[in-house]
Amino acid sequence: MTRLTAHINLRLIGRAILWAALLTGVFMTVFPFFWSLLMATHDRTTMFSSGLNLSLGDQLIANYARLLDTMDFWVGMLNSFSVSIIGTIASLLFCSMCGYALAVYQFRGRNVLFGMMICSMMLPPILTLIPYYMVIDAIGLTNTHLAVWLPFSINPFGIFLIRQYVVASVPRDLLEAAKLDGASAFRTYWSVVLPLLRPGLATLAIVQFVFLWNNFLQPLVVLTSSEKMVITQMLRSVQGIPNTPWGALMLGTFISILPLVGIYMAASRQMISGLTSGAVKN
Amino acid sequence: MSTNLETPVSAPANSAAERDNAPADRWRTLWHKSTPYWFMSPYILIFGIFGIFPVFFMIFLSFHTWNPVAGLGSMEFVGLENYALSLTDPTLWQTLKNTILMALYSGVPQHLVALPMAYLLVQLGKRARHWLTTAYFLPYVTSTIAVSMIFFVMFSKESGIINQALTGLANGTLTGWAFGWINDLMPIGWVQENSLIRYSVSFVVFWKYVGFNIVIYTTGLATISDDLYEAAIMDGANAVQRFFYIALPLLRPFIFFGVTLTIIGNMNLFDEPYVLTRGLQQASTNGMTISNYLYRVAWEWLDMGGAAAISWILFVVIGAFTGFYFWFFGRRGLGGD
């Protein structure tokens, strides 16, 4: 009997340690976001008072005004939205076309293209940054959003993903039937295959949207005028100015992560499996 | 009705058309054969412009000096000079050392924390596991720039929460006796001091990617059958032993893949140090990665040839690291094949 209670006690202690460890992790993860929101309600005077201050300030509205003074915040947000949405749609189209062709057709050069895709995934992004800039400059795309999303619209990961989806979920018989009914190749792709690929396309859309929204390096290099800049760039660029209005900047940072966090809250399961699908499905 | 009329006629008409319209037919077969290439055309076109051309151009450029402001005409062949200059450039070696050290400081703890956390997570019920995973994964979804900005403020000397909390600990009535010495160090310049910047940057990287690894490892642990654990319990193995003797060996392929991603990602580190080392007093000597240095050489000093040479050196270093890692751990990591 006593051995049994000792056993139960031990189990309880184990459970307690387990939960303590797990909840500490949650606290560490969420705290910076919470803190940035808190700072968004303070101005420089209350922020710089030393001593732990976890109370809400009353500067939220003033900080919002300051934020709009320091940068064209909503222009940046709109630019980020435009780059991410258009870029995602383009990549859905291009990746599904290529993935479909790789899955269904036998053609000369297929293996070469396949090999190139694998190699291109290994290239460090910074390696091609200089020629990327040159190409953009040469074809007159500096300061356009097209320059930021176009190179990523043929994401090799996305092409692989779609290829796997076609192999797994598009029956060959269906393609044969469509052909017998006289549907053209493009028609078959568009009205027979694409609807079947919906889950794969959703995964790709998530990966691509998150990447484009958070991307910094390429916009930094090609978007130079302030009316074209995306939000990550704008936030970074005011970091160096003297007397940086940190409260306002934290407010801007917090708002800039809200769209993704919002989508994440609504569809966390799909987002987690989508963003790790490259890693765990190998 | 029309089909009734057409059926008997169509057969001979077709064969006649075949003889007469041979070129048109050839066009049709050509069109059919070219179909996959039409589908592949976006990839071929865009990858050619933004993938293949850049690689060859980078080889070409690394043997030249070129200032982009002066136009393409200012390009001059200098042979291996860019490589010689880069390889004898102390800053390059310093930034390479920074990159490797920060890759270690942020990468090793990531996996050492993610593995046991994932093991703890799978002990829970489905609902609790889902909520906790959602929380842990959150940093991965948010932008590195936003996250680095938040941490830049948290690390700040006077108003940063970290220094405020430490001061609170040092002067608190209950904790003062143990942490009083912290007062002598205040204010700590987490992103201003060269001796601390690597740890500060590494912490942000660790914080951002640990959740991603936790998810990979929970997925991996979910593939391990319960029978194995039950058999081990029958044999009297406790939870810690089950972790080391069952979970860890079976997770090997996942660990291998997770570590590969970490190596590649960390060697390319750019955003976090770019934000964290741009304070008013910079701690860029120890905080700058090789990617940051490359950006500076190319876009601030406008020495594109030198930057191209640095890119190739970085490429070789990453290749060497991953190659070594694959060669050394690959066989075991991928489970014996």
Q: Are residues B94 and B223 in the same domain?
A: yes
Q: Which residue has the tokens 């060497």?
A: B320
Please indicate if any CB of chain B lies within 8 Å of the CB of A218: no
Q: Structurally, how many domains does chain B consist of?
A: 2
Residues B201 and B301 in one domain: yes
- Of A72-81, A123-132, B17-26, B153-162, least confident by mean pLDDT is B17-26
Closest CA to B106 of B197, B230, B228: B197
Residues of B in contact with A132 (CB under 8 A): 50, 54
Q: Does A235 touch chain B (CB under 8 A)?
A: yes
Give the CA distances from residue B101 to residues B199, B259, B261, B268, in Å, rounded to whole numbers and listed in that order.
9, 15, 17, 13
For the segment B69-96, what is each residue's pLDDT rounded down to a tens digit? 666 667 778 778 888 888 888 888 888 9
Cβ of B150 within 8 Å of Cβ of A269? The answer is no
- Decide if B229 is inside a domain: yes
- Across the interface, do B47 and A116 touch by the CB < 8 Å criterion? yes
Give A104-144 as a 3 state SS string: HCCCCCHHHHHHHHHHHHHCCHHHHHHHHHHHHHHCCCCCC
How many secondary structure helices (H) and strands (E) does chain A include? Answer: 17, 0
Measured between CA atoms, the residue of chain A closest to residue B334 is A282
Return mean pLDDT, chain B.
80
With 0-12 CB in 10 A as exposed, 13-18 as middle and 19+ as buried, what is B178? exposed
Which pLDDT belongs to residue B311?
87
Residues B46 and B95 in one domain: no
- Pick the most confident of A4-8, A88-92, A199-203, A237-241: A88-92
Partner residue facing A249 (CB), from B55, B149, B257? B149
Contacts of A253 in chain B (CB under 8 A): 146, 149-150
Predicted local distance difference test score (pLDDT) of residue B12: 44
CB contact under 8 A, B158 and A50: yes
Q: What is the pLDDT of residue B1?
A: 34
Q: Which chain A residues are closer than 8 Å to B143 by Cβ?
A: 213-214, 216, 232, 256-257, 260
A52·B144 Cβ contact <8 A = no
Task: Please give the interface size between A and B, counted as residue pairs whose CB atoms are below 8 Å apart.
Answer: 253
pLDDT at A280 over 60: no
Residues 80..109 of A with a Cβ closer than 8 Å to B: which? 93-94, 97-98, 100-102, 104-105, 107
Strand partners, B76: B65
**Band (A88; pLDDT cuts 50, 70, 90):** very high
pLDDT of residue B282: 62
Contact A256 B143 (CB under 8 A): yes
Residues A233-253 have pLDDT tens digits of 888 888 766 677 888 888 999
Kindly state whether residues B93 and B141 are assigned to the same domain.
yes
Average pLDDT over residues B188-211: 87
Please say if the pLDDT value at position B209 is more than 50: yes
Residue B47 sits in the same domain as residue B108 = no
Is B58 part of a structural domain of the chain? no
Q: Do residue B146 and residue B28 come from a single domain?
A: no
Is there a domain that residue B67 lies in? no
Determine the average pLDDT of the residues in A10-27.
85
Closest residue to B53, CB basis, from A107, A135, A236: A135
The domains found in chain A, sorted by start residue, are 72-237 (1.10.3720.10)
- The pLDDT tens digits of the residues spanning B221-233 come to 888 888 888 888 8
Closest Cα of chain A to B19: distance in Å?
A: 23
* pLDDT value of residue B206: 94
Question: For residue A125, which residues of chain B lie inside 8 Å, CB to CB?
Answer: 268
B147 lies in the same domain as B224: yes
Q: Of B32, B53, B74, which marks where a domain is finished?
A: B53
Q: Which residue, B53, B74, B95, sits at the end of a domain?
A: B53
Over residues A128-185, the pLDDT tens digits come to 888 888 888 888 888 899 999 998 898 888 898 888 888 888 888 888 888 888 888 8
- What is the ipTM for the molecules in this complex? 0.86
Nearest CA among B133, B119, B234 for reference residue A14: B119
Q: In one letter, which amino acid is A63?
A: N
Does the structure show a pLDDT above 60 at B17? no
* Residue B238 belongs to some domain of the structure: yes
Check whether residue B126 and residue B249 sit in a common domain.
yes
CATH number for the domain that contains residue B138? 1.10.3720.10
Using N-to-C axis directions, what is the helix angle for A2-39 and B144-154, rounded to 10°? 90
Contact A33 B123 (CB under 8 A): no
Q: What does pLDDT average to over chain A?
A: 84
Domain membership of residue B73 (yes or no) is no
pLDDT of B3 over the 50 cut: no
Whether residues B20 and B117 fall in one domain: no
Asked if residue B148 and residue B43 are part of one domain, the reply reads no
- For residue B75, being part of any structural domain is answered with no
Residue B170 belongs to some domain of the structure: no
> What band does B21 get if pLDDT is binned at 50, 70 and 90?
low
What percent of chain A is modeled with pLDDT above 90? 16
Asked if A126's CB is within 8 angstroms of B295's CB, the reply is yes
- What is d(CA B191, CA B197) in angstroms, rounded to the nearest whole number? 5
Same domain, B235 and B316: yes
- What percentage of chain A reaches a pLDDT higher than 70? 91
Interface test with B, best of A70, A277, A280, A281 (most B CBs within 10 A): A280
Weakest-pLDDT range from A23-27, B37-41, B191-195: B191-195
What would the mean pLDDT of A111-118 be, rounded to a whole number? 83
Q: Do B270 and A35 touch (CB under 8 A)?
A: no
Read off the tokens for A39. Answer: 């700072």
Q: What is the mean pLDDT of residues A264-268?
A: 83
Query: Are the C-beta atoms of B311 and B297 separated by less than 8 Å?
Result: no
Residues B123 and B195 in one domain: yes
Q: Is residue B285 part of a domain?
A: yes
Q: Please tell me the distance from the alpha carbon of residue B7 to that of residue B233, in angstroms, as a whole number.
A: 75
What is the domain extent for residue B41? 2-53
d(CA A151, CA A134): 13
CA A240/CA B269 separation, integer angstroms: 21
Interface of A with B in 119-158 (CB under 8 A): 120, 122-135, 137, 150-151, 153-154
